[in-house]
Amino acid sequence: MAPGRKGRIIRRSIVVALVVAASLVMEVTGYLATPEAARPEMSWTTMHAIVPLVFAACAGVAWAIGPSRVPARLMVAFPLVWIPLSFLRVIEDVAWLWPFVYGLHLWWAVLTGILVLVYPRGWLVDTVDRWIAGIAFVASIGYLVSVLLLGQPAPGVCDCAPNPYRVADAPGLFAVIDVGYRLVGVVLALVIAGRLLVRWIRGSVPARAVAFLMPVALFAWVVTLAAQAAAYAVSGRAGLVLDTVSLVAIASIPVSFVAGISHARNMRARVADLMRITREGADRGLWAESLARTLRDASVRVFWWDEERGRYADAAGEPLDQDPPDRHGDHGLLPVTSPTGMPIAVIRHDRVLTDNMRLLDGVSSALRLSVDNGRLRSEIERTLEQVRQSRSRIVEAGDEARRRIERDLHDGAQQQLVSLGMRLRLAANQARDRGVEPLEAELDGTIAVLNQALRELRELAHGIHPSLLSSGGLALAVPELAGRCPVPIEIEVQPEGRLSEVVESTAYFVVSEALANIAKHAQATRGWVRARVVDGELELVIRDNGVGGASVDAGTGMLGLVDRVDAVGGRVVVVSPAGAGTTITVCIPLGGLAAH
């Protein structure tokens, strides 16, 4: 945790603790200062003391997850103005103080109303909301001034010292102001509740999801507040049942606020699920469907930028400019651009989501990441395909170079050596006929050396590219290759006619390398080679009964085998448990290039 953040948490915790302590002191001292006969029931007093505690606790949560600092500050200030009238008995002898306390003891209703107005944005946005807050504040200031200039609590409230600020003894006028102030509060609360209820009824699914608890809590508070005001106007006091219900309703308002913003925060957390779904570049239709499910907004539409036509269009090709006009302003548009400023898409969403910019920022990042990942994935796949094609061309070029070298050796150097050998044999025969035995012996030795060189040249040409493979395919070349292996090899070659040159040459050199390993390392007494075409692939299985323990990483020969097979899109599987022989399975795709 950063030092600055830790310091803020400590300071806020101290503030919450102080206001809670102040509220409890007022509640407890007021209760103790009230005569036993006039004390309310302990259960009601306890509930009255719990209400500011709920506000203070919710303030801590709102500070951590709220959209702004305003809601948390309103909740923190609430316990300071949640003043029980019984507290006036504690300060009744402090003449300069009790008029201010008495004039502020209803300000908690103003803070509660403003808290509802700033829900869920965290500030006053609408002009009507500002007017309501302004009227409530002006009325509260007027009430405070009237208390200072005219007020004197009833004898049943406290035996307060005379009001030093009082300018006239007009209890009737003060009573009218007192009742009028409460009625103004009821009217404003009804207006706030009505606006919130209308918004909720006419709102979309996302709007109702965000404000799902606040209308209920506010409706309960307004009903009990109206009933209390009516009872106070008639008898001067409200009933205990109404007071209890009102306490519960008031305490539920900050809880509803915190629950609402927590729900909005959870919606932002669901963007992580959206990113998991689309992290590899999801289909555009699936992207819009997943986004609507994440935001719980069925009206969401995603219009993608069409570079060729220079316009935005949805997955079905319908352009943005043909989208039905938003007559009531119920929708907003969220443009999404790349880090370089290039347009990517425009998201049309419910306007209520505009109040949650963190959510929309998360959606923008998810879409941008999805597009970037999809583009990167396409580029990687295109690059890999180019690499595969390049490797295939290299293999084909290598095979062609081997065939050319083999032909050059066979038709050039090999034929010249054969011709030279024939001429030397004629010279040796002439030397014998003329009785020149030393010359005959010398020529015979030269012919022997020439024949050895010719055999080595044939083996070299065969190793570069066997002519038998070019003329007869695997059906002739593999048995000939097995015949030169010192270990007995059983051959089963069943290719369907001639295959492409790349496939045949790759298969031949795979078998050649595998048989060389059997001869050199396997310590086997028998081996098997099987070649057949299965599901569009040439399947080679080379098996022995040797000591096993072979590995692809054991030597350059096996690595070269794997690289060659991989270059033509094939795969190699080596199974070689110790003491149980080795089985090499190679699958080479035919690629539709069969030669007959």
Q: Is residue 401 part of a domain?
A: yes
Which range, of 112-121, 228-237, 269-278, 299-308, averages the lowest pLDDT?
228-237
The contacts of residue 326 (CB under 8 Å, 6+ apart) are: none
**Rounded to two decimals, what is the model's pTM?**
0.58
Specify whether 140 is located in the same domain as 260.
yes
Specify whether 487 is located in the same domain as 426.
no
The yes-or-no verdict on residue 40 having pLDDT over 70 is: yes
Q: Is residue 196 part of a domain?
A: yes
Instruction: Provide Rg for the chain, Cα atoms.
Output: 47
Q: In the prediction, which pLDDT does 594 show? A: 37
Q: In the prediction, which pLDDT does 595 show? A: 35
Reported for 236-239, long-range contacts at CB under 8 A and 24+ positions apart, including other chains, are 236/154
* Residues 280 and 366: beta-carbon distance below 8 Å: no
Q: Is residue 341 part of a domain?
A: no
Pick from 266, 292, 318: which residue ends a domain?
Answer: 266
Record the tokens describing residue 36, joined without a space.
């036993």
Pick from 239, 266, 293: which residue ends a domain?
Answer: 266
Mean pLDDT confidence for 565-572 = 84
Domain that holds residue 511: 472-589
Q: Is residue 182 part of a domain?
A: yes
**8-state DSSP, 236:** S
With cut-offs at 50, 70 and 90, classify the pLDDT of residue 593. very low
- C-alpha 37/C-alpha 35 separation (Å) is 5
Q: In the prediction, which pLDDT does 73 show? A: 93
Record the tokens describing residue 228, joined without a space.
């209390």
Specify whether 391 is located in the same domain as 488.
no
Specify whether 497 is located in the same domain as 421.
no
Closest CA to 590 of 505, 475, 503, 530: 503
Specify whether 126 is located in the same domain as 211.
yes
Specify whether 487 is located in the same domain as 456.
no
Q: In the prediction, which pLDDT does 285 show? A: 72
Which range, of 108-117, 299-308, 399-408, averages the lowest pLDDT?
399-408
Pick from 465, 486, 512: which residue ends a domain?
Answer: 465
Distances (CA, A) of 259 to 119, 139, 217, 256, 570: 11, 31, 12, 5, 58
CA angle centred on 142, ends 137 and 147, rounded to 5° = 125
Specify whether 439 is located in the same domain as 495.
no
Handedness of CA 349, 353, 357, 362 (dihedral sign): negative
The larger pLDDT score, comparing residue 391 to residue 141, is at: 141
Q: At 542, which CATH number?
A: 3.30.565.10
The yes-or-no verdict on residue 596 having pLDDT over 50 is: no
- C-alpha 366/C-alpha 368 separation (Å) is 5
Record the tokens describing residue 558, joined without a space.
């096996």
With cut-offs at 50, 70 and 90, classify the pLDDT of residue 132. very high
Q: Is residue 352 part of a domain?
A: no
Mean pLDDT confidence for 394-405 = 66
- C-alpha 27/C-alpha 36 separation (Å) is 15
Per residue in 229-288, pLDDT tens?
666 555 545 556 667 777 888 888 888 888 877 776 666 666 666 666 665 555 677 777
The enclosing H or E element of 123 equals: none
Q: What are phi and psi of 539, to 5 degrees?
A: -105, 120
Q: In the prediction, which pLDDT does 17 show? A: 94
The yes-or-no verdict on residue 170 having pLDDT over 70 is: yes
- C-alpha 200/C-alpha 193 separation (Å) is 10
The yes-or-no verdict on residue 371 having pLDDT over 50 is: yes
Q: Is residue 176 part of a domain?
A: yes
Closest CA to 588 of 504, 476, 529: 504
Record the tokens describing residue 320, joined without a space.
């943005």
- C-alpha 294/C-alpha 273 separation (Å) is 8
Q: In the prediction, which pLDDT does 261 show? A: 77
Distances (CA, A) of 106 to 111, 138, 469: 10, 13, 103
Record the tokens describing residue 377, joined without a space.
């994935």
Cβ-based burial of 397 (10 A; exposed 0-12, middle 13-18, buried ≥19): exposed
The rounded mean pLDDT for the chain is 78
| Residue 91 C-beta-side C-alpha neighbours within 13 Å | 19
With cut-offs at 50, 70 and 90, classify the pLDDT of residue 203. low
Specify whether 135 is located in the same domain as 262.
yes
The backbone region for 403, taken as left when phi is positive above 0, alpha when psi lies in -120 to 50, beta otherwise, is: alpha
Share of the chain above pLDDT 90, in %: 18
CB atoms within 10 A of CB 310: 8
Specify whether 438 is located in the same domain as 482.
no
Closest CA to 502 of 559, 563, 567: 567
The contacts of residue 229 (CB under 8 Å, 6+ apart) are: 179, 182, 183, 185, 186
Distances (CA, A) of 455 to 380, 451, 476: 49, 6, 21
Distances (CA, A) of 439 to 129, 194, 428, 448, 473: 125, 128, 7, 14, 46
Specify whether 534 is located in the same domain as 429.
no
For residues 105, 110, 115 and 116, what is the CA-based torsion angle, rounded to 10 degrees?
120
What total number of domains does the chain contain? Answer: 3
With cut-offs at 50, 70 and 90, classify the pLDDT of residue 408. low
Specify whether 448 is located in the same domain as 539.
no
CA 454 to chain CA mean position, Å: 69
Q: 489-494 and 527-534: which strand pairing? A: parallel
The yes-or-no verdict on residue 316 having pLDDT over 80 is: no
**Residue 401 amino acid letter:** A
Specify whether 456 is located in the same domain as 477.
no
Q: Is residue 321 part of a domain?
A: no
The contacts of residue 148 (CB under 8 Å, 6+ apart) are: 99, 100, 103, 163, 165, 166
The contacts of residue 520 (CB under 8 Å, 6+ apart) are: none
- C-alpha 115/C-alpha 251 separation (Å) is 12
The larger pLDDT score, comparing residue 540 to residue 495, is at: 540
Angle between helices 357-408 and 501-517 (to 10 degrees): 80
Please give the full DSSP string across 60-93, using - where no structure is assigned. HHHHHH-SSSHHHHHHHHHHHH---GGGGGTSTT
* Residues 19 and 79: beta-carbon distance below 8 Å: yes
The yes-or-no verdict on residue 140 having pLDDT over 90 is: yes
The yes-or-no verdict on residue 448 having pLDDT over 80 is: no
Per residue in 12-25, pLDDT tens?
999 999 999 999 99
Q: Is residue 254 part of a domain?
A: yes
Q: In the prediction, which pLDDT does 314 show? A: 78
Q: What are phi and psi of 131, to 5 degrees?
A: -60, -45
The backbone region for 326, taken as left when phi is positive above 0, alpha when psi lies in -120 to 50, beta otherwise, is: beta
* Residues 313 and 319: beta-carbon distance below 8 Å: yes
Share of the chain above pLDDT 70, in %: 75
How many secondary structure helices (H) and strands (E) does the chain include?
A: 18, 9
